Amino acid sequence: MATVPSISETISQFKRKDITVEEHTAKALDEAKKLNQDYFYYNVISEDLALDQARALDKKAAKQGIQESREKLFGIPLAVKDSICVKGIESSAGSRMLKGYFPVFNATVVQRAMNQGCVVIGKTAQDEFGFGAFSVNVGLGFAIPRNPFDKQRTTGGSSGGGVGITQKTGYAYASFVESTGGSIVEPASFCSVAGICPTYGRLSRYGLIDFSNSMDKIGTAAKTIQDAALLLEASAGHDNRDSTSSASPVPQYTSFVGKPVRGMRVGIIKEAFGEGVDPGVAASVRKGIEWLEQQGAQCDEVSLELPIKYGIPTYYLLGTSEASTNLAKYCGMRYGAADPLEGNFNSYFTKVRSHHFSEEVKRRIMLGTFARMAGFRDAYYLKAAKVREKMLQEYKHLFSTYDALVSPTVAIQPPTFSEIEKLTPLQHYMMDMLCVGPNITGLPHLNVPLPFSKGLPVGMMLIGDHFQESKLIQLGSAVEEQAMKHKAIQQ
């Protein structure tokens, strides 16, 4: 496979007038359509919007002179997770319930990326409302995306389509993905792409179709950390339409790519290399840690108890509680799916919800509704909120010494669909064991693709303190560089 140009190389091509944005976009659209026949990465391909944007960019460039274009992502194809609203483009969060929902507004991050010259290729496949780790819990009538390295295997989830296309494409791409409990780094690991899940509040959630408001984070994925960091810095920053978005200044993340890591301190999460972790995965991650040490980073084993032990139950209690309220609005009245009007309101919305939500969605609504009922609230929802605080304390204690923590992103490699079928819901939920911790506590984390084991991707996860994305980018790019050299030697 010919090497794929980076975002900056692609912008250079436009500036050299090797290709127009419209031509480039048309090719990316063709590729998207073609790949979709076998890999199902897109729920919607927004051809008209993409071509309109491309022509507008070409026109603007012709008018002011292409060299004058300052947009950081000029003409770059953008894949947007289905749960992130794009004005006028069907945005269904992978659910039949939202079929026919055409938002009247752009998500803030989408608008910002567009302002920087991005061209929206389409809305990417995901588990319905983000409820899953393999992108197999897609809504009724949606296709399941396939792993770019083996069609019989999962892309991971829930941002499966977004990372899948990012890996499979032959073009420089930027991708908006979203994570509540691990939905960025886990699929990024399974598809071997760079995925950044930033601090909660770093990117505006305005326009994100909610799963769990206290944990949802929009993030970025790309072939390289450099490109993922570029999209992050183009879209981060305070948004007065999202009260939880942070006003802290946005660093130039890309300037941390390739910065020396000598003297940085990294904690190796001991528990994440224990039982249940695939030996090939562990070995590959150990190799990555060695590379950091060789470059002068100091890596010590540390213990992280609470998130590994209680991360999953805490995540599911908080996540389903919030999700069950977020999903209440879907009653077939104002947007999305509707059924013939019959009976009173109660019988109507019951019918609509029974009809258009899939099994997993119903399971989570029931779990969440139960957990916040009077009499159970204290034991479940409120206790989980307290455990979250305790977990954060444990992390904060470690960050008083360490710049970042490291572990495998996922304990295993992408399973086949038939293996997934055999999993119980609980085993399915356990998939996020290593990455729920930073997600619950809103800590930034990053997946770095590592050398493959047994021909399948492996990922390393770096976790940082709040708003320390720069450090993760710095450390991650140091590992990435070695991994690429390693790959080149192997080939």
Enzyme catalytic residues = 81, 158, 183
Give dist(CA 445, CA 324) in Å, integer: 26
- Between CA 244 and CA 445 the distance in angstroms is 19
Please answer whether residues 235 and 112 qualify as being in contact, where contact means their C-beta atoms are separated by less than 8 angstroms: yes
Q: Pick between residue 245 and residue 254 the one whose CB is nearest to other proteins.
A: 245
Number of residues that bind other proteins (CB under 8 A): 45
By beta-carbon proximity to other proteins, the closer residue of 215 and 461 is: 215
Q: Minimal distance in Å, beta carbon 233 to other proteins?
A: 23
61 three-state secondary structure = helix
Report phi then psi at 445, rounded to 5.
Answer: -150, 160
Binding status of residue 139 toward other proteins by CB under 8 A: no
Q: Is 85 in the site for other proteins (CB under 8 A)?
A: yes
Q: Phi and psi (nearest 5°) for 399?
A: -70, -10
Binding window for other proteins (CB under 8 A); candidates: 153-161, 283-291, 371-379, 460-468: 371-379
Tell whether residue 379 is a contact of other proteins (CB under 8 A).
Answer: no
Shortest Å distance, C-beta 130 to other proteins: 13
Contact assessment for residue 166 and residue 227, using Cβ atoms and an 8 Å cutoff: no
Does residue 349 touch other proteins according to CB under 8 A? yes
The yes or no reply on residue 205 touching other proteins (CB under 8 A) is: yes
Quickly count helices (H) and strands (E) in the chain: 16, 13
Least separation in angstroms between CB 210 and other proteins? 8
- Comparison of 31 and 322: residue with beta carbon closer to other proteins: 322
Nearest CA-CA partner of 475 in 461, 486, 485? 461
Closest separation between CB of residue 385 and other proteins, Å?
8
Stretch that binds other proteins, among 135-143, 177-185, 326-334, 426-434 (CB under 8 A): 326-334
**With binding defined as CB under 8 A, does residue 331 bind other proteins?**
yes
Instruction: List the x/- string, 236-255, binding to other proteins by CB under 8 A.
Output: ----xxxxx-----------
- For residue 236, give the amino acid letter: A
Q: Binding to other proteins by residue 209, rule CB under 8 A?
A: yes
- Least distance from C-beta 159 to other proteins, angstroms? 17
Written as one letter, the residue type at 445 is H
- Contact by Cβ (8 Å): 143, 109: no
Q: Taking the complex as a whole, how short is the minimal distance between the CB of residue 395 and other proteins, in angstroms? A: 19
User: What x-and-dash track marks residues 285-324 binding other proteins by CB under 8 A?
Assistant: ------------------------------------xx-x
335 binds other proteins (CB under 8 A): yes
What residues have CB less than 8 Å from 400, skipping those under 6 apart?
none
Kind of pairing between the strands at 150-154 and 146-147: antiparallel
- Spatial contact of 392 and 296, defined as CB atoms under 8 Å apart: no
Q: At its nearest, how many Å lie between other proteins and the CB of residue 244?
A: 6
CA 397 to centroid of chain Cα atoms: 27
CA distances from 219 to 176, 182, 213, 328, 477 (A): 6, 11, 15, 26, 17
CA angle 223, 123, 196 (to 5 degrees): 35
How many angstroms from the chain centroid is the CA of residue 428? 18
Q: Is 207 in the site for other proteins (CB under 8 A)?
A: yes
* Residue 486: how many other CB atoms lie within 10 Å: 17
* For residue 158, cis peptide bond before it (omega within 30 degrees of 0): yes
Q: Tell me which stretch binds other proteins (CB under 8 A): 91-99, 119-127, 224-232, 423-431.
A: 91-99
Considering beta carbons, is residue 91 or 192 the nearer one to other proteins? 91
Longest dimension (CA), the chain: 70
Binding status of residue 82 toward other proteins by CB under 8 A: no
Member of 286, 351, 363, 372 binding other proteins (CB under 8 A): 372
Task: Using CB under 8 A, pick the residue from 185, 208, 222, 264 that binds other proteins.
Answer: 208
Between 122 and 336, name the residue whose CB sits nearer to other proteins: 336
**Smallest gap from residue 108 Cβ to other proteins (A):** 10
Q: Of 160, 151, 150, whose CA–CA distance to 193 is shortest?
A: 160
Among 14, 206, 316, 467, interactor with other proteins by CB under 8 A: 206
Q: Which is nearer to other proteins, 8 or 248 (CB)?
A: 248
DSSP-assigned letters across all residues of 370-416 = HHTSTTTTIIIIIHHHHHHHHHHHHHHHHHTT-SEEEEESSSSPPPB
Among 50, 107, 228, 367, contact with other proteins (rule: CB under 8 A): 107
Site residues (vs other proteins, CB under 8 A): 84-85, 91, 93, 98, 101, 103-105, 107, 205-210, 212-214, 240-244, 321-322, 324-325, 328-329, 331, 333-336, 341, 345-346, 349, 369, 372-374, 377, 381
